[in-house]
Amino acid sequence: MRLHKVYHRLSVLHFSPISFPSNPCILHLISPYSLRLRFPRRITANFTSITSMGCSRFRNVVPLGAAVTEDGGGGNSNVSVSSSTATFDYEEESTVGVAYRVPPPEIKDIVDAPPVPALSFSPLRDKILFLKRRSLPPLSEFARPEEKLAGIRIDGSCNTRSRMSFYTGIGIHQILPDNTLGPELGVHGFPDGAKINFVSWSPDGQHLSFSIRGNGEDDESSKLRVWIADVETGKARPLFQSPDIYLNAVFDNYVWVDNSKLLVCTIPLSRGAPPRKPLVPFGPKILSNEEKNIIQVRTFQDLLKDEYDEDLFDYYATSQLVLASLDGTTSDMGPPAVYTSMDPSPDHKYILISSIHRPYSFIVPCGRFPKKVDLWSADGKFVRQLCDLPLAEDIPIAFNSVRKGMRSINWRADKPSTLYWVETQDGGDAKVEVSPRDIVYTQPAETLDCEQPAIVHKLDLRYGGISWCDDSLALVYESWYKTRRIRTWVITPGDDVVNPRILFDRSSEDVYSDPGSPMLRRTQAGTYVIANIKKGGDEGRYILLNGIGATPEGNIPFLDLFEINTGSKERIWESDKEKHYETVVALMSDQEEGDLHLDQLKILTSKESKIENPQYYLVTWPDKKTYQITNFPHPYPQLASLQKEMIRYQRKDGVQLTATLYLPPGYNPSTDGPLPCLVWSYPGEFKSKDAAGQVRGSPNEFAGIGPTSALLWLARRFAVLSGPTIPIIGEGDVEANDTYVEQLVSSAEAAVEEVIRRGVAHPKKIAVGGHSYGAFMTANLLAHAPHLFCCGIARSGAYNRTLTPFGFQNEDRTLWEATNTYVEMSPFMSANKIKKPILLMHGEEDNNPGTLTMQSDRFFNALKGHGALCRLVILPYESHGYSARESIMHVLWETDRWLHKYSVSSSSDADEKHGSRTVEENADKGNKDSESKVVIPSGGGSPEASDLKYEGFHSMPRSSL
C-alpha cells in the first residue's frame, strides 16, 4: 500500500496510550522513540510528524479507517478532587468477591466523561470532519462469538475483525476564508443508531464513503453495507442498489479507484452456510520436520489448528471484488479469493491487488502465508502477475530478518503508474553478512516481457522506505537494529549518472541529532510527495524538515527550511519553549500544482500546555498569523490544576535518567508532607549510555489521561512518577539483557531516591506498576528490590521466559543460546523471593505474542505456593489491552483497592511479616487473607457458589489451568 493511501484513507492523525496493540481494529502507536529504534523516518512528513507528536495527548484525532475503544478523554465533570484517598471503605470488601465493581467517583467520572470527536481534513484542505464517538463500550459487545484463525480474530456475524468500535455520527465543517470553521452539516439519510466505520474521502473531496451496520443481533442487520454521502449536502445513500451485497472487512475493505468509482471487497453472493466442524476428526494432527529445516518462530497465538480451521478461514476471508460506480453500475473483478490489499495507481489506470492462498500453516499467522501480487487494469482486466511468494515459516527471529523475494511493492508517488519494490540479497537472514543487503527496483506498469526492472538503489543495511519527489530527488532510508544505525540517502531516480549520497547518518537512539522528516504535499493525483519550497528569487532546492526538536530541556518541535544540495538550513518555525508545546501536523497550502512558495505557506498545528488540552490552529505565512479552529473542553477539569515537572537524576553507574513527576492539584510538599506514590514505567533497551540519558518528551505537554492511566490516581491524592526511564544498556557487543536485573534495580533505586529526596513520596508508601513488559518489570522489582516498594500492580505480563523460547521483546537470542539470561530475567524463577503484595491482572483472551493468560495463572500459582500475598484477576473477553467499560472500571477498582490497602494504609510492614509465614501457616489460615484468585463472571452479577472455584469456571481456557 502506497504511503499517500495510508495517509489519506486510514488517517489524518491518531494518538493513543503507549501499549502493544491487542485489538486489530485499533491503530496503537508505540512511543515514537521506540519506533525509531527499528524503523527510519521513511514515511511522509505529514504522517511521520503526526505519529511522532506523542501518544497520549491527541486521543481525539484518529484514523478514518479505524475506530477507537481505549479512549477515555473528553467532556466536562464537576466532581471535585477528594482531599483524601480514604473516601472509599475497602475494609469490608471480600478478597474473593467476583462481581464487577466500580472505582470511587473521583476516578469513575474522569473515565466516563464523553470523548471529543475525531478529526479528518479533506484532500483539498477546505473541510474538516468531526467524527462523533461514544464513551467506553459495554462488555456485551466483546462477548460476541469470534473465530480465532490464522493469527486474527473474526466476528462472523459482521464478517469483520472482531471487537470493532465505531463512530455514531459525522459532522462536516467548512473552513471559511477567514480560517474559522463554519456551522456543522450533519451527514444524514442512514438509519438511526447505525454504527459507522471506515470513513474515507473521495480523491476530489466531493464525497465520503463509509460503512454502516445496525444494532440487531441477527446476521443480516449486523453485516456492513457501503454508503456514500455528498459532502455539499450531507445526504447519504447506499452505494449498492442491491440489499444483498455486504462488505467483507476481514482484510482490506474498499478503495476509491477514481473520483466516481470504488473497488469493494464483498461477501460472495454464492457463499452458503459456514462449514460445520466434523464430529469425527479427519485424522491425527501431524507436524513433521523430516527435512531437518531450521524453523524458529515466536510465541504466536490464534493460529490455525486443523483442516476445519483452514476451511473456516477461507469461508470468512474470501471476498469477491466488485467495481462500483456512483451511478449504481457494478461489475465483478476477478474470481473470489482471500484478497488482503488493493492499491490503485496514481493515474487510476491500474490496481495492485494482493492475496494469500494455500498451503496454509499451523505455526505462523496469515501474514506469512503464500502471497500473490497481481496487476489489474482499472476496468477489471488481469494484466500480469508480479510475484507468488511461498509460505514463509522460516524467517529467522533475528531483528531485521525479512521474507525472501519481492516485498514492499508500491506505486511511485511521483509517476502515473510506475512500480517499485525491494528484494533481499541475504536470503532474509539478518545474520548473513553480504553487500548489498537489499536492492530497490523499479519498473513501469506497462512493460514488455523482456524488459528487466531498473535498479533504483543498493543498500548495505535493511531497506526502510522511500520518500519520492520527482526524477531529480528522492530520499531512501535504511537502518540496522543491532547497531541502531539509520541512514538517509539522496538519490536522483531519473539519472543513473548522478551518484547517490548520504544525507544523514546517525544513531536512531540519538534523538538530539534527529534532523526531522521531510514534509509531503498532496499532488493532483492524490499521492503525497516531498514538497518543493520556493524562497523568493533563490534558486536553491528547498524542502521542509519537521522535527520533534529533542533537547536536554525537553522537546521543542521545529520546522526547518532545508537546502538539499548544500545542507544549509533556516528555522522558519519553532514551538514556544516557555509555556506551550506545539507541533506541526500537516501542510494546508498544497492544493495547487507546482512548487509551494514560502510566503504563501499554511500549516496545521496542535498546541497545548501543562493545563491546556490540545487545540488545533492554522498558521499562515509570511506573518505567521495563528487562527484557532477547535475549542474542545477540558476533558477532566477537576484535575486542570495538576502539577507536572520533568525531573532528571542519575543512576549509580552515571547514566542520566528522566521521569515526569505529577502531583495533585493544590498539593504543597512543605505543608502537606509526603504522599503515597505510584511509579508506572516500561523498560527500554539502548546501545549507549549517552542515548539512554537523553531527555524525551516535553515539560509543557498536556497530561493526557487514558481510561487505565496511572495519572487517574492524582484524583486520589497520589504522587505519580510516570515513565521513569529504565534503560537496559548493552554497549558494543555486550547484550543488554545479560545484566537486566542489575540495571533494572539500579534505575528503580535512583527513581525512588529522587522522589524521597524531593519530599513528595513517603518511603513506605511507594507502589510500582506496569502493563505488558512493564508488568514483567514490576514482578522483577518486587523480587529483586523489595526494599523499594510497598506493593505492585502487574497487568497482562509474561513472567516465565522459558515459555517464549525463541525470543521476546527485543531479545533475539533463543533460550538455548542464552539460557542463564532467560532464567535470571524470569520473575517466575524468583517467586520465592516476592514478599510484598502483588496484584496480577490479565485479559482472558490475550492474543499478544508471549503474554498468554497462562503466564499470569502460572505465576500466581507459583506465588501462592510460597505463601506470597497476591491476587489474580482474569477479565473475561478482554485481550492484551482492556476495552469494555465493566472491565476497565473493575481494573480501576482493583487497583485503587490494592493501593489503598497496601500503600495508603501503611500496611507494608505487616504485609512483609505476613508474607514470610510458611506455606503450612497460610494453609492453616485457609489463605483467606494471603491470596485470592478472581475470575469475573461475564454477566457481572453475583456468581453461583460453584463459580467461586476457579477450575470450574466455564470461561477459563483449559490451557490456562
Catalytic positions, written as ranges:
772, 846, 880
Quick check: 901 and 907 in contact, CB under 8 A? yes
C-alpha–C-alpha distance, residues 188 and 101, integer Å: 38
Q: Count CA atoms within 13 Å of residue 917 on its CB side.
A: 20
Cα–Cα dist 556/583, whole Å = 9
Cell 503508474 belongs to 417
Give strand pairing partners of 187.
none
Q: Do residues 893 and 839 lie in contact, with contact meaning Cβ atoms separated by under 8 Å?
A: no
Buried b (16+ CB within 10 A) or exposed e, 231-243: beebebebbbeee
Q: Between the CA of residue 843 and those of 45, 96, 681, 855, what are the distances in Å?
A: 36, 18, 20, 11
DSSP code of 808? B
Q: List, as one string, the DSSP characters of 259-298.
A: TTEEEEEE--TT--SPPPPPSS-SS------TT-------
End-to-end Cα distance, the chain: 42
Three-state SS for 583?
strand
Preceding peptide of 243 cis, ω within 30°:
no
Pairs from 941-944 (Cβ < 8 Å, separation ≥ 24):
941/99, 942/99, 943/98, 943/99
Is there a contact between 112 and 191 (Cβ–Cβ < 8 Å)?
no
Angle 772-898-666 from CA coordinates, rounded to 5°: 95
- With CA atoms as reference, report the closest residue to 810 among 509, 453, 593: 509
- Strands 675-680 and 719-722 come out as parallel
CA 735/CA 747 separation, integer angstroms: 18
The C-alpha cell that represents 713 in the structure block? 490516581
Amino acid at 559: L
Sheet holding 118-121, edge to edge: 118-121, 127-132, 169-174, 185-186
Query: Per the structure block, which three cell numbers stand in for 705?
Result: 489521561
> Strand pairing of 870-875 and 931-935?
parallel
Range 316-338 burial, b when 16+ CB lie within 10 A, else e: bbbbbbbbbebeeebeebbebbb
Q: Is the preceding peptide bond at 622 cis, omega within 30 degrees of 0?
A: yes
